[in-house]
């Protein structure tokens, strides 16, 4: 590490002793709470199917490839929802207006969760997983843009990173809740958690995401001579193709799409079949395997807050390099899971790296294309989560079925390591080496 980088790290540590949390308006903190709970909802939903997958495979007599295609339905929906509603969210407006499109995404998840609970056939299950994907896939980019627009730009990395902690919390809390249900009831009942959470956050958002509250936040930011995150004088292009062209014109957006695709390919490839690994290879009961599969959530929240805040000071690329090495190493270590104890250990360490790259990438994209944040984040989530999730699950299922678990983990780790290529071409947007 260069001398100036060491000095920068020392400065961040020194500053954290004085003020480990940034100052912000109370409404900013409330919006952070709402969007964090929304990420919790998305995370729990994405954990449900992998967690109960062995039960679904038994009910419908599916093999690993067929199960992979079932899980793909959610990500196909995410691909469509993130791109389409990401654009619509920009078109409706930014700031408090974006909360309206956010409400639509929440409503889709509530309806889909209830419908899935009452569905008994495999065809209906596939359909409602597709619709749920549209809801959660569109909620994530709108969510990131929304929290960014209720916080001063100087602390954007912290805000995005903190709101992303909903993901690791969901990855741990979700399987624990589902494990309790599976111990006494059917896997169908696990889908009821989605409407329960969805209704709560919709009620909260109706009080927080208002025009009056937005103005209070911006007055507070202006009084302290910080950077207001939204320029309401900007009018987005009415042509959707030109609007997306505006989003991807920046080099970082295109490279971010590729990087995010690779990270999510690796993560979804592990997460989708983790419970199956613990039950079929290790021999654990489904209820215990469900709880262990969420172990990464115990440490995941810490990594997201820390790396998001550090990236504000030391740079987004600096953090991504470190996270990629740790992410890749942990995937390779999954080959050595042979008991409940080794699973807990490896997955808890993975939590430090598992979700953190996305918070840093999201902050970089909002830095790079603030006027079309919804569209660019929609592309990021749609192409990354939707496309990679739809493709990796049948591919990973094929590797497991024909080559075994070890070669599956090697393939996933190799893809993660390839993120260094697009990352090297990105333009830094924060810290001392920022070029924008």
| 265 φ, ψ (degrees, to nearest 5) | -55, -50
Is 80 exceeded by the pLDDT of residue 21? no
- pLDDT for 87 equals 67
Nearest to 436 by CA among 365, 363, 359, 367: 367
What's the whole-number mean pLDDT along residues 349-373?
Answer: 78
Is 60 exceeded by the pLDDT of residue 228? yes
Task: Find out whether 201 and 327 touch, Cβ atoms under 8 Å.
Answer: no
| 346 φ, ψ (degrees, to nearest 5) | -65, -40
| Residue 150 CB burial class (10 angstroms; 0-12, 13-18, ≥19) | buried
Is 60 exceeded by the pLDDT of residue 197? yes
What's the whole-number mean pLDDT along residues 293-297?
Answer: 80
Question: DSSP character for 282?
Answer: S
pLDDT in tens, 390-407: 778 788 888 988 899 999
Task: Find out whether 163 and 304 touch, Cβ atoms under 8 Å.
Answer: no
Length of the chain: 436
Nearest to 199 by CA among 103, 129, 135, 89: 103
pLDDT in tens, 237-291: 555 556 566 666 778 888 888 898 899 899 988 988 888 889 888 888 877 887 8
CA dihedral 410, 413, 419, 420 (to 10 degrees): -80
Q: Which CATH superfamily is domain 25-225+236-425 in?
A: MFS general substrate transporter like domains (1.20.1250.20)
What's the whole-number mean pLDDT along residues 7-18?
Answer: 43
Q: For the CA atoms of the chain, what is the radius of gyration?
A: 21
235 or 126: which leads in pLDDT = 126
Query: In whole angstroms, how far apart are CA 3 and each of 8, 10, 257, 301?
Result: 9, 11, 32, 30
283 or 345: which leads in pLDDT = 345
Quickly state the pLDDT bin for 371 (edges 50, 70, 90). low
What's the whole-number mean pLDDT along residues 216-235?
Answer: 78
CA gap 34, 166 in Å, rounded: 10
């Amino acid at each position: 590490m260069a001398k100036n980088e060491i000095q920068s790290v020392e400065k961040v540590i020194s500053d954290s002793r004085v003020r480990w949390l940034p100052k912000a308006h109370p409404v900013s903190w409330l919006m952070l709470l709402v969007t964090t709970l929304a990420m919790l909802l998305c995370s729990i939903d994405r954990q449900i199917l992998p967690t109960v997958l062995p039960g679904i495979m038994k009910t419908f007599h599916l093999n690993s490839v067929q199960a992979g295609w079932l899980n793909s339905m959610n990500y196909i929906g995410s691909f469509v929802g993130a791109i389409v509603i990401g654009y619509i969210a920009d078109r409706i407006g930014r700031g408090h207006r974006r909360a309206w499109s956010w409400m639509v995404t929440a409503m889709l998840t509530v309806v889909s969760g209830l419908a899935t609970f009452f569905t008994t056939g495999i065809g209906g299950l596939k359909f409602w997983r597709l619709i749920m994907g549209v809801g959660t896939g569109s909620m994530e980019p709108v969510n990131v843009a929304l929290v960014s627009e209720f916080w001063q730009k100087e602390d954007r990395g912290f805000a995005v990173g903190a709101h992303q902690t909903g993901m690791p919390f969901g990855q741990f809390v979700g399987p624990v809740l589902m494990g309790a249900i599976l111990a006494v009831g059917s896997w169908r009942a696990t889908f009821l958690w989605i409407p329960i959470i969805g209704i709560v956050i919709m009620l909260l958002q109706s009080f927080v995401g208002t025009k009056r509250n937005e103005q209070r936040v911006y007055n507070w930011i202006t009084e302290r001579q910080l950077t207001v995150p939204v320029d309401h004088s900007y009018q987005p292009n009415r042509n959707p193709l030109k609007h997306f062209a505006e989003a991807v014109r920046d080099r970082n957006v295109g490279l971010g799409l590729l990087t995010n695709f690779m990270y999510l390919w690796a993560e979804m490839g592990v997460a989708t079949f983790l419970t199956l690994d613990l039950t079929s290879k290790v021999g654990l009961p489904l209820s215990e395997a469900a709880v262990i599969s969420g172990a990464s959530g115990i440490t995941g929240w810490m990594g997201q807050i820390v790396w998001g805040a550090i990236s504000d000071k030391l740079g987004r690329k600096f953090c991504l390099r470190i996270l990629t090495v740790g992410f890749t190493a942990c995937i390779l270590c999954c080959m050595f899971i042979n008991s409940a104890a080794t699973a807990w250990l490896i997955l808890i360490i993975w939590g430090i790296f598992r979700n953190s790259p996305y918070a840093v990438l999201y902050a970089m994209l909002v830095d790079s294309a603030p006027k079309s944040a919804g569209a660019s984040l929609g592309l990021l989530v749609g192409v990354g989560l939707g496309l990679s999730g739809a493709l990796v699950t049948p591919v990973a299922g094929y590797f497991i079925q024909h080559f075994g678990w070890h070669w599956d983990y090697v393939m996933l780790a190799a893809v993660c390591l390839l993120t260094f290529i697009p990352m090297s071409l990105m333009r830094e947007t924060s810290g001392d080496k920022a070029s924008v």
